[in-house]
Amino acid sequence: MFRLRQKDFGEIRHHGGISPAWPISYDDLESYYTQAENLYQVHGNRGEDPTEPEASSPYPWPAVTHEPRIQQLADDFARSGLKPFHVPVGVMLDEKNPHKSRCIRCNTCDGFSCLVGAKSDAQVVCIDEAIKHSNVTLLTNSLVKRLETDSAGREVKSVMVERNGNLETYSADVVVVSCGAINSAALLLRSANDKHPRGLANSSDIVGRHYMGHTNSVMMAISKCPNPTIFQKTLGVNDFYFGSKDFEYPMGHISFVGKLDAITLKAGAPAIAPNFTLELMAKHSLDFWLTSEDLPDPENRVTIGRDGKIVLTYTPNNLEAHERLQGKLKQAMKQTNCAMHGHECHQGLFGRNLYVGQRIPLAGVAHQNGTIRFGHDPKTSVLDANCKAHDVDNLYVVDGSFFPSSAAVNPALTIMANALRVGDHLMKRLGVSETTYEQSRQRDRELAVSR
């Protein structure tokens, strides 16, 4: 769980174009990043990542330790001049008191729901806790079809919901949309009316545009030494995040995916290394995740087709940066040096393509953001700096769609921090007293500590 880098909030020149500035600064989010890290029990060590921004407090939990093969790689990287660091992760792991730890450090953490509720995801950390309150109701099997406004088009009056085959109507003083960047944009587009002919809150014609999801790739490094690691998402490299001596533009972030097995490899098997079967490759692979920033393009967008289905149009951009990042990883792996095989331990780096033809599968939109961007100018943004729609007085959007740029780290923690920031704004808008507000904040802090 990464904070955006401080520079990510300003305008940055990339090889493929310009990453625009945000209407808020890192300092505006810093305290909320801290709250989110405590809420989601993030484990990490300050001061290791050479690009990390300043923080007002340490991580609430120490970093998850590397298993031996990953530690060996971290040492190799450090000897070559890189600055590897422990990736901040949200798991309920207590390595000092394993008998009390909810997390058992199993091999199904990445991409699976946690059967013991030890992954710090929104379900476990927020939803399960929120529905314990008598004034919170969670409706399941429910699809929001559209939002209806008053006759002037300035206020959402009705939320139309299809629930268990029936159409139901709900209303509220404030409506908050948080469906993910793709579905939130689709909802606003489907909510067009006479006052909002291009879609709700879309006088700027920005809704659905500037879709971003990063340029991501999985690279497998095959070594003669086996990799028996169970939980390998502990190591990261950001030395090339903002560029290097031989390439002045940002390249991105290197870390790991969950450990791949032979079954996973069958879905996107790379070229086989000599004498390596899929099973053997899985046992000897180091499975890297590379992320580079894609840039906001108005033609990369979400629309609604004539059949009412969502259409996602996306052309990758800023690809030179990602190719350079892959080259940096290949170079780093050639410099690794194990005690048994020396520099010959590394056998090659193979790519697993996340994209099949021109179709982006579900895995390709995990980092979706940017379709309902915030900003100060109603002509070039949909939301104001508090994530309220410029065109609608009681409509807010708090998922990743508010991003004006995507940076090159997982957007989750920034979405969480911003939701907390907007939550504070809404409490003031709704007239919550300072005393009640502070009591609520104290309960939140106590809840985070109790976990």
CATH number at residue 71: 3.50.50
pLDDT tens by residue, 330-380: 999 887 776 666 666 665 555 544 332 223 344 478 899 999 999 999 999
Task: State the Cα–Cα distance between residues 414 and 403, nearest whole angstrom.
Answer: 9
DSSP 356: B
Q: Which uninterrupted H or E stretch holds 168?
A: strand 166-170
Q: Which domain holds residue 355?
A: 1-90+139-451
Residue 438 domain flag: yes
Please tell me which residue, 9 or 276, carries the higher pLDDT value. Answer: 9
CA distances to 45, 216, 303, 378, 384 from 208, in Å: 37, 21, 6, 15, 16
Return phi, psi of residue 264, to 5°: -65, -40
Q: Which pLDDT belongs to residue 342?
A: 61
Return the bridge partners of 352, or none.
218
Residue 111 domain flag: no
Task: State the Cα–Cα distance between residues 242 and 371, nearest whole angstrom.
Answer: 25
Confidence of residue 20 (pLDDT cuts 50, 70, 90): very high
Residue 102 domain flag: no
Task: Please report, rounded to a whole number, the percentage of residues in the chain having pLDDT higher than 70.
Answer: 89
Task: State the Cα–Cα distance between residues 146 and 187, nearest whole angstrom.
Answer: 6
What is the total count of domains within the chain? 1
8 Å CB contact between 419 and 409 = no
Residue 107 domain flag: no
8 Å CB contact between 368 and 400 = yes
Residue 125 domain flag: no
Return the bridge partners of 244, or none.
247
Residue 334 domain flag: yes
Residue 213 domain flag: yes
pLDDT at residue 95 tops 50: yes
> Tokens 């940055």, residue?
12
Q: Which pLDDT belongs to residue 112?
A: 82
Please tell me which residue, 123 or 111, carries the higher pLDDT value. Answer: 123
pLDDT at residue 275 tops 80: no
Mean pLDDT value of segment 308-320: 94
Number of residues that make up the chain:
451
Q: 29 by DSSP, 3-state: which?
A: helix
Residue at 361: amino acid letter: P
**What pTM does this model have?**
0.92
